[in-house]
Amino acid sequence: MEFVNFLKNPKQYQDLGAKIPKGAILTGPPGTGKTLLAKATAGEASVPFITVNGSEFLEMFVGVGPARVRDLFSMARKNAPCILFIDEIDAVGRKRGRGNFGGQNEQENTLNQLLVEMDGFNTTTNVVVLAGTNRPDILDPALMRPGRFDRQIYIGPPDIKGRASIFKVHLRPLKLDIALDKDALSRKLAALTPGFSGADIANVCNEAALIAARHLSDAINQKHFEQAIERVIGGLEKKTQVLQPEEKKTVAYHEAGHAVAGWFLEHADPLLKVSIIPRGRGLGYAQYLPKEQYLYTKEQLLDRMCMTLGGRVSEEIFFGRITTGAQDDLKKVTQSAYAQVVQFGMSDKVGQVSFDLPREGEMVLEKPYSEATARLIDDEVRKLINFAYERTVTLLTHKKVDIEKIAVRLLEKEVLDKSDMVELLGQRPFAEKSTYEEFVEGTGSLEEDTTLPEGLKDWNRDREKDKEELNDEQTARHTSAGMPF
C-alpha cells in the first residue's frame, strides 16, 4: 500500500524533501504469494509492470547479462512511473567471491551491473524495483543495503484469518453445494489447514473439485474438501495396498498409541482423525489440530515428544518387539531434542548458548563448537529422549485398556474421528477451547487488522468515491436507456 501511494502521489513526499524508496525485496517460503503481491501492487497503482526472471540475465556468452540489465533499466526509465519486478533474484544476486578462482564470472559481472543501475537512478525517476526470493541468506550484502533495496518485507505463511480470506477467493469460482455457506466453510477449512501457504490452499480447492468430479457429484460438498485436505497432507489413499493381518494389527496399535498419548497429555495437539488406510509412503495417518502458537515452553515440547513416541512405545508394550514403522517419529523427536539443546538453550549442562543446526542437504565442513561440547550435546539429547520415552511408557502402561479399545475399533472401522475418541475414552481431561472451535463458531474475528496511516486512508476514500461515481454514472446510463439495473 505504501509503494502504491508513492507512485500515485509522489508530490506529497517530495514536498517534504523525502526520497521515494528505490525498492523492496519480498522474502518468504515458496507459495506465500510474493509474485502475486508484486503484480497486485502494480495493478493497484495503475502503472506499467515490467517483470523479468533472475535467470534470464545469465547466459553462456560473456557480457550478455550486464547488457540485458542495462536494457531493462533503460526501458523502465522510459516507462516511469512503473514497477520493475525481478523474480528469483538469488539466481543473479548471490554473494560474490565464492569459488571463482580466475577466469570470467558472468554472474558477478551481471550483479555488479545491477548494483550500479539501482544506485544510478536519480531520485525523481519514480521507478520502484521489487524482487522476490525464498533464499535471502545467500544474497550479496551490497544488494540489500539502503539505497538499493531499502525494505526487506517478509511474507510468511498466512495465519487462520489470512487462510480464511484466501479460501474465500478460491471458493468463488467453484460450484458448491447449496447447503454450504461460503463464510462458514472458509472458516472451517482455515482451521483445518494450519501451516498451509496460499499455493497449498489453491491446491486443496482444486483437489476438492477434482474429487467431486471423479465421484460424479453435481456440486462440491464438505466431505470432498476434507478428503482433499487429507490428500494434500497425507498423500494419495492406496486402497489396493494389501497389508498382512499381522502388519495391519501393528499399524493399528501404533496409531492407537499416538492417539491415546495425545489424548491424555495436556500440551499435545487435540486429535481430529486417525486412519490405518495406507497413504503415500506411510501406512497409518493421524491428523491433529495444532493451535496457532509461536512460543513453546520446555514442558510443551516434552509433551509433543512423548506423543510422537507413543506409537513405538505401544508396539513394545503389546508385541514386545519394535518395527521400522516408527522411523519418521524418531526423526521428529531427534530434531526436536537437538533444537532444544543446541538452539533454544533448554539444557542446564550445555547452558544458555545457541548454534545454528545444519539444514537438510547442506554440507557442514566444521561445527561451530568443540568436540567436548559436541559430546556433551549428544549426551544431553540422549538423556532428554530417554526421559520422554520412560514417561510415555509409564503413561501408556497405565492406559493399556484404552489403547486396546482404540486399536480394536480401528481394525474394525479403519478411520476414527474425534467423536469416536470421546465415545471410547470419554471427554479429554483438559479444557480444549482452541482457536479452531472459536473460529468455526464465528466468535473469532475474520477481519484482519488493516489500520492505515492517514495518507493511505485518504487515498482509499478517494478510491471508494471514484467507484461510487462510476456506479452512479452506469445507473444513470441504464435508466435513461429504459433498462432495469
What is the residue whose three cell numbers read 486402497? 239
Which CATH homologous superfamily contains domain 245-441?
Answer: Peptidase M41 (1.20.58.760)
pLDDT of residue 318: 92
Q: Cell numbers at residue 429, please?
A: 481431561
pLDDT of residue 381: 95
Rounded mean pLDDT, 63-75: 86
Q: Which residues pair with 127 in a beta bridge?
A: 82
Is position 255 annotated as part of the catalytic site?
Answer: yes
pTM for this model (two decimals)? 0.76
99 Rama sector, left if φ>0, alpha if ψ -120 to 50, beta otherwise: left
pLDDT of residue 244: 84
User: Is residue 245 reached through a cis peptide bond, with omega within 30 degrees of 0 on the bond before it?
Assistant: no
CB burial readout 91-115, b (16+ within 10 A) else e: bbbbebeeeeeeeebbbbbbbbbbb
Which helix (H) or strand (E) segment holds residue 208: the answer is helix 198-214
pLDDT of residue 293: 77
Model confidence pLDDT, tens digit, residues 214-267: 999 999 998 999 889 888 887 777 777 777 888 889 999 999 999 999 899 988
- CATH 1.20.58.760 residue spans of the chain: 245-441
How far apart are alpha carbons 98 and 329 in whole angstroms? 38
- CATH 1.10.8.60 residue spans of the chain: 160-234
Q: Check 88, 106, 226, 255 and give the catalytic one.
A: 255
What kind of architecture, by CATH, is found in domain 160-234? Orthogonal Bundle (1.10)
Q: Which of 99, 69, 81, 78 is nearest to 22 (CA)?
A: 81
**pLDDT band for position 271 (cuts 50, 70, 90):** confident
- CATH 3.40.50.300 residue spans of the chain: 2-154
Please give the CATH topology (third level) of the domain spanning 2-154: Rossmann fold (3.40.50)
Rounded mean pLDDT, 454-466: 59
Q: Is the pLDDT of residue 208 over 80?
A: yes
How would you classify the pairing of strands 285-288 and 151-154? Answer: unpaired
